[in-house]
Structure 1
């Protein structure tokens, strides 16, 4: 295939996807000419590698031995280090971030943030950590690298040295989504629990849009949940059981006294109806749907776990009878 053609990468990716269609995400991951074969045991791996090489040969494609690594427990792949433990950052790229000089202009700052953003999924509350830096990129904003910007620049660099290993997602394990909303940003953590405890799968964050900055706090909190579930929808819909959402939901008691949802809230409710999760107070550990007896009966009649959309509807339907605070409910439980 000639180099330099606009559609060459896409065409080649379609080719390898067709070649390995029945292997993809089962024993092989392919990005253009980077092929990673994974297996649960050495004996199985030998068979998988042989199958992949034979499939290439059958399609007149051949791997170059000098560019191959066989039977490795840890490999560098697309800027990450992949092992049985999970995903971690390439140490050479982390070192580049640590050695990055203080940006002197907008172009230099854009280069730094563009490079650092590649690993944003390893950094908790990444958007919050770079808020002062991104504000310098606004149109017609003077580039003044003040103490706040310098502090965030150093804090971000230090965050890369303490970033955890991100575990591989397992649909059979208990799953937790932690969300938080500040005045100007959203943050979330996807975690799973195994025999050794809770381990992060991914971190994510984003700055609120100008219109979203005007939302009431309860809408920002709910937006944080909706946004996180959208980000990890593919993971969460693959679960065989309900998952847990941890949030400071005290502000969500607004829905207990609201008999009518706004159009925006109604759209969120429709989206949330796809999922089955337990909404829990992150500080108290109190499940949001553990309500008085007559409400629990309603939940039980609907088959044990209730959907997230039903949680909001129960808030509204029983608002005239409940009239209790999160603190009171926790004490009664």
Structure 2
């Protein structure tokens, strides 16, 4: 360490010891100290825990289990959702959606699957628990038990985002090194359903950038959309006010937008549409491959054998 930084470190540590905030440690584990300059020029002490975190054992935190493999749902917390009885009033519906919604980042197309239930608490909607609502309720519980392990994002490595839209909502997947970091989906508001296709596809990108800003800001990201003209959004001259406003947000990020054929964009297609629900209803087996695509297998038996 440079003499100037070492002198600053000793002064800061002595101040912390004098105030009783720190004490000498004789443990074999430690973490390197870094200095960051503040706006008014003095040094600010920071500690780099990355090396220490590599050997840290898994831990439970806010309903999730964090380990070297990534983040997964805590089974003891999910058991509450799994044992939940079908709601019999609007208050119970809100309670269930609130609890299940905490784990929405683990569930592909959460918003689309929960659509029938989210309509119940709306004003002037009569409470009737139909078969469609029961299917939505059961599917959410099933998907939470099958929730995948999400990887922890790494700083300095490129992020990849796949986005897609439909008449029902927006869907996107955040990935890094071919592994899923998080899923996100959103139902369209009434006024958003009037957007032209170009604006709707751009809205999906803006939604992803906003919801994952804490991951993407200051990092390189590669966005794939199935609307080809968005590749040239930055250089287009004739933009409406909404597009200009969103373009200002895009300038905050170091990103590249590329076209990705809609038929190949199967992961996000399932988020923005109800295709996963339909496939599961046909008793298909869904498999997420390493490249992010979904393989649907349907086994058929001849009826007359």
- TM-score category of the 2 structures, normalised to the smaller one: 0.5 to 0.7
Check if 1:229 corresponds to 2:213: no
CA RMSD of aligned residues (A): 2.9
Q: CA deviation at 1:187?
A: 1.5
**1:254–1:168 Cα change, 3 Å:** closer
Counterpart of 1:200 in structure 2 is 180
Residue-by-residue CA offset, 1:101-151 (whole Å, 9 max, x unaligned)? 111111111111011011111111111110111011111100112122111
Q: Say whether the 8 Å CA contact 1:171–1:238 is kept in structure 2.
A: no
Counterpart of 1:213 in structure 2 is 193
Counterpart of 2:170 in structure 1 is 186
Task: Structure 1: give runs of 5+ residues left out of the alignment.
Answer: 1-18, 29-36, 42-71, 287-333
Structure 2 CA distance, aligned partners of 1:140 and 1:23?
54
**1:157–1:169 Cα change, 3 Å:** same
Counterpart of 2:66 in structure 1 is 82
Check if 1:238 corresponds to 2:218: yes
**1:38–1:186 Cα change, 3 Å:** farther
**1:237–1:252 Cα change, 3 Å:** closer
Counterpart of 1:271 in structure 2 is 249
Check if 1:97 corresponds to 2:119: no
SS in 1 for 2:181: strand
Q: CA deviation at 1:234?
A: 2.5
More RCO (CA 8 Å, sep 6+): 2
Structure with greater helix percent: 1
Counterpart of 1:176 in structure 2 is 160
Structure 2 CA distance, aligned partners of 1:190 and 1:169?
10
Matches within 5 A, 1:1-333: 22=45, 26-27=48-49, 39-41=53-55, 73-193=57-177, 198-239=178-219, 242-250=220-228, 252=230, 259-283=237-261
Structure with greater strand percent: 2
The number of equivalent residue pairs is 223
Structure 2 CA distance, aligned partners of 1:285 and 1:210?
27
Task: Structure 2: give runs of 5+ residues left out of the alignment.
Answer: 1-20, 23-43, 265-305
